[in-house]
Every structure is written in structure tokens, then in C-alpha cells.
Amino acid sequence: MNNCKITNLTAFLPAKDFQLCCKFYEELGFKKTVSIEGAVRYELDSFGFWLKDYYVKEYAENTMLCLYVPDIQSWYNRIEKIDIGKNYNGLAKVFSKPHEEHGSLVMQLGDPSGILWHIFEVATQVAALGKLEPIQVSAFVGQ
């Protein structure tokens, strides 16, 4: 029997201004679930990441995450309501509004530390059980 199953996978994200980044993720709807010295765990719908009070520019600017959502327009509306360009001193940015790309709706968003988020609505990729089917990664990185 194969016991090599996964129950979770999480990333550790750097924060240039820890308090500002905490505010950013909380305004996006993530909930603080664990707080330890120098790090906070954020979750939304049982998916999450650790935000660290530690920053390396080269690492932050080369970190990308993909967030798969059932309704990208709702996310875009939330992001517009927050007005991140104004409320985060230009540090957080919407790089693209929702648009079609390779059969999906996608938008790009940068957090205050330079982490790039790709937000996807991939209706054709979601199986009846709510699991993502394998997709070709090259389609999403411009190849």
C-alpha cells in the first residue's frame, strides 16, 4: 500500500514590512491562525502560508504563488475595494485585471514585499469532486 500521501503543502513568504503585509493579507480575507515569534500562519478555506518577519529582496522578487478560485470577479472586486495601490503606498500592485489566458481567467497581483500572486479561475480544470486535474504548467509561464 502506498502511504506517500499529502495532507498539506505550505510556503514561507518573506515580509519587508511585517505589519503592512499582515494588514494586506487580512484585507484580502486570510485569517491569522497561528502566531509565533517572527511568523504568522494565514489561512483561507483551509489553504494557507506562513508570513515571516524576514526579508531578502532577491527571494521575495522571485517568489510566485498560484491561487485557484471559483470566481475571479469576486476576488477582483475585493481587491478593487481595498484600493491597494493607494492604501499600500504603491508597494502592492494589481499587475493585470482578470483576462483570458490559455483557456482560463487570470489576474496578477503583487504584495507589499514583491511576492507575485497569479489568481486563476479555471472552470474547465475542476473535476466533479472539486479537485484540480493536471494542467500544463508551461501554458501559464509564457512558453
18-29 pLDDT, tens per residue? 999 999 999 999
Q: Describe the strand order of the beta sheet including 64-68 as a list of residue ranges.
A: 64-68, 116-121, 104-110, 93-101
User: Where does 12-140 sit in CATH, by number?
Assistant: 3.10.180.10
Task: Report yes or no on whether pTM surpasses 0.85.
Answer: no
Local confidence band at 140 (pLDDT 50, 70, 90 cut-offs): very low
Q: What percent of the chain has pLDDT over 70?
A: 85
Angle formed by the axes of helices 18-28 and 72-82, to 10°?
130
Strands 64-68 and 116-121: parallel
